[in-house]
A and B are shown apart, each in its own frame.
Chain A
Amino acid sequence: MKPAPFRYVRPQTREEGLEALARYGEDAKVLAGGQSLVPLMNLRLARPKVLVDINRIPALGILERRDGELVLGALVRHRQLEGDPRVWEACPILSRAAACIGYPAIRNRGTVGGSLAHADPAAELGCVLLATGAVVVLESSRGRREVRIEDLFVGPYTTCIRPDELLVEVRIPAWREGTRWGFAEFTRHEGGFALALAACVVHLDGEGKVTSARVAVGGVSPLPVRLPEAEKSLRGAGLSKEGIAQAAACALSLEDYDDVHAPAWHRRQLGRWLLLQALQQAAGGGS
């Protein structure tokens, strides 16, 4: 099948892009990497009347360290996250996770903004950014707002981004001394979509005590989620063998989610097992 006709606009600046979204409202869709939107259009599951192609807006492609943060423009491609030394240095879990997204041809086009806006429950970036405490910047011609990544996701394939809003950048606190991390996912074949995945970022003080922990799981619930219970138990018990097992078991109490690929009980067991692996990596000093 082929996409239904649409009107194509290609803004050159952020302002032009926001203007187009304001003008066409619900009729318009942003086109970023196209790796999720175009398949839907090819199958005619999506029939936007207007496509606003943001690929020629240079300001959306920034990747920089700024005031202790790593700032990623919406158009930063998965391939850049995978290979850029600044990302490896400031937030290695992001590079590690990006390398697991689909295949090289997909990573060359797919973008940070597109992955977050598409909000697949098992997408790598959503889950990992939950563990890093990222903030997402949304802009419209009405103004600008910043939302915590945990407030971005509302349900499967659903976010709080309004039709006239553009996700312009993601800001991630750069890592400090004593940061440990882990990432694990289960796929049925090389490069395939994860059935479930887990990520953790843990800070240890000089004595090896956990001062803060962020733990996230994807693919187990209808949206990627943080596990506050697991984080609490890590702060108490630390990265000991028992502490890790106790924290990982929190994945078993997640909300039901099943689809054709796996029933809920299987996803929860996978979540526990993957979280165990991610936490073991963190305990071992990184990954």
Chain B
Amino acid sequence: MRDRISIALQVNGKPYRLEVEPRRLLADVLRRDLGFTGVHLGCEHGVCGACTVLLDGELVRSCLMFAVQADGCEILTVEGLNASGDLHPIQRAFIEEFGFQCGFCTPGMILAAYRLLQERPRPSAEEIRRALAGNLCRCTGYADILRSVQRAAVLLAEAEETRAP
């Protein structure tokens, strides 16, 4: 019963090989075995969004997947956004606009915003609300979070311009 399965994951651009019991949630493997503590566990039943990560480029709840299911997949956690050492524009925007209080919901909010801004670089307030509706903030700082995402859109557009020749 307690068999362990060997899996390969690519997390924030780096490859990992490990042995896991099938019942281990992806969230726990990322947090405990690999040390990506930006993956937060709030509810463990898919409602709060704190454990959100990108799996092969798409948002998923890492509390609703077993790590064995992610075998061979690429994962992005909030740590991956500033892998180069500099804060990502979305992270900067959250600081500038007071988008977090205790910070518990923040990694999930930032990754949901990241995916939204990839799809829609200039989202409307309504689109931002819809995209973040599945992420709960128990400090209830929603107005500031909305502003942070709007600011992030501006910062990303500026970064894009300075990169262009």
Which residues of A are interface residues toward B (Cβ below 8 A)?
A: 1-8, 10, 31, 34-35, 38-39, 42-43, 51, 53, 55, 79, 102-106, 108-109, 189-191
Contacts and interface: CB of A to CB of B under 8 A. Distances in A.
A220 B69 CA distance: 36
B21 A5 contact: yes
A3 B23 contact: yes
Contacts, number: 88
Nearest to B46: A39
Interface stretch (B56-64, B77-85, B151-159): B56-64
A5 B23 contact: yes
Given A42-B45, A109-B61, A190-B129, A102 B5 contact: no
Interface in B131-153: 131, 133-134
B134 A106 contact: yes
Nearest to B115: A104
B151 to A, nearest CB: 21
Q: Which of A38, A104, A189 gathers the greatest number of chain B CB atoms within 10 Å? A: A104
B119 to A, nearest CB: 10
B115 to A, nearest CB: 7
Contacts of B5: 8
A-B complex: 9 closest residue pairs judged by Cβ atoms: A103-B134, A8-B22, A39-B45, A190-B133, A105-B59, A191-B133, A38-B64, A3-B23, A108-B58
B3 interface: yes
B49 to A, nearest CB: 7
B134 A42 contact: no
Contact of A38 (B3, B21, B65): B65
Contact of B22 (A7, A39, A102, A105): A7
Interface string B35-72: 00000000011100100100000111101111011000
Interface of B: 1-3, 5, 21-23, 25, 28, 44-46, 49, 52, 58-61, 63-66, 68-69, 112, 115, 129-131, 133-134
B23 A105 contact: no
A109 B65 CA distance: 9
A72 B76 CA distance: 30
B69 A55 contact: yes
Given A6-B1, A42-B25, A191-B133, 20 more contacts: A2-B23, A3-B25, A5-B1, A7-B1, A7-B22, A8-B66, A8-B68, A38-B25, A38-B65, A42-B45, A42-B63, A43-B45, A55-B69, A79-B58, A104-B112, A105-B49, A105-B52, A105-B59, A108-B59, A109-B65
A38 B68 CA distance: 13
Given A2-B23, A7-B1, A104-B59, A53 B69 contact: yes
